[in-house]
Amino acid sequence: MNHYCTYFDRNYVVQGVALLQSLRRRDPGMTLWVLALDETAAGALTALGGGDVRVMTCAELEADDSALARSRETRSRLEHIFTMSPCLPRHILRRHPDIPAITYVDADLWFFDSLDEIHREWAAGSLYLTLQDVPLCLREREERYGRYNVGILGFRNDATALACLDWWRERCLEWCKNVPEPGRYADQKYLDEWPVRFRGVVVSAHPGINVAPWNWSRRQLAVDGPAPTAAGRPLIAFHFAQLRRLSRRCIDTNQAQYGVMPFRLRAPVYGPYVEALDAASGRLAQASQVAPLGSIRPRSEAGLQRWSFAVAFGTVWFRLGRGWYSGGFGLGRHSGRIMAWQHRLRGKPA
């Protein structure tokens, strides 16, 4: 039995349920440990039920970690959530020594294929990392935000991984701001130190693991057959980061700042996920009172400008009748270069 853990609040509960369903399909018999960040998320998961889901609350985690509980008073809610990243797998592994390993997965991941390759890659290691792999035109982002991505992390229940979790927790308790500083950013930039400080660190070499809006072009995403591939290998996990609703019938996939996929890629990658969100939303609507597909972005002036840009370049999915459809033509990897150029003109980080 493989064990996974994640956390989310009411704004990500639909994505979290979609993640759960994809894990059930791609790794039957697994167990998903979920830290529910608010009562809505906890209530929704409890209402859905299922013996393969273990629900924890923030109160339970903080009762076992007084330093984490105290940190709530010194940082924003988002920064406190980031601080929980090392605390959750650390708590599970220490409380359950019978669990041989645990894989942390972000709530906005979705699995297209079996997770066996992930477990094979780090079978002989203690820790597992995935690269950001941003385009060369945006490579300076790695210097600010980290070379590795928090989206998928693996921890063996051994001395090395537990020591790493202790070290990571201490760093996050010291500083975990949502603004990059030299050598650190939130919970993520600290990952750069793992291969230097700890033995048994495995960095994924599979191009289909943790593909994301910021690296799909470098991973050579393609659709030449019935399922998407990355550099000729199966697409296993896609990270649908910052996907949000614009209205009841519109979803922004937030690709514009990195590079908008052409439609021939966008439809087979985002299409199944949007349908999975729709199915998860329906399950939640039956089981509990949760807004479908997460919270709606406010219609600020900046938000309206982004909305119009998203519609023009095909990052929006529209609900028409019973199905979801995407418009726009997409600029491919060129839109990432345009965004980097615009940021430099405005004096902002790319």
Domains of the chain: 3-203 (3.90.550.10), 244-346 (no CATH)
Residue pLDDT, tens place only, 73-111: 999 999 999 999 999 999 999 999 999 999 999 999 999
Given a cut of 60, is residue 308 above it in pLDDT?
no
pLDDT of residue 248: 72
Average pLDDT over all residues of the chain:
87
- Nearest alpha-carbon partner for 249 in 320, 309, 315: 320
Amino acid 54 reads R
**pLDDT band for position 311 (cuts 50, 70, 90):** low
Does residue 68 or residue 336 have the better pLDDT? Answer: 68
Given a cut of 70, is residue 290 above it in pLDDT?
no
| Cβ 259 vs Cβ 213: under 8 Å | yes
| Cβ 262 vs Cβ 223: under 8 Å | no
Strand partners for 6:
34
Q: What is the pTM of this model?
A: 0.89
Given a cut of 50, is residue 340 above it in pLDDT?
no
| Cβ 26 vs Cβ 116: under 8 Å | no
pLDDT of residue 327: 62
Pairing verdict, β 148-156 and 201-203 = unpaired
Strand partners for 55:
34
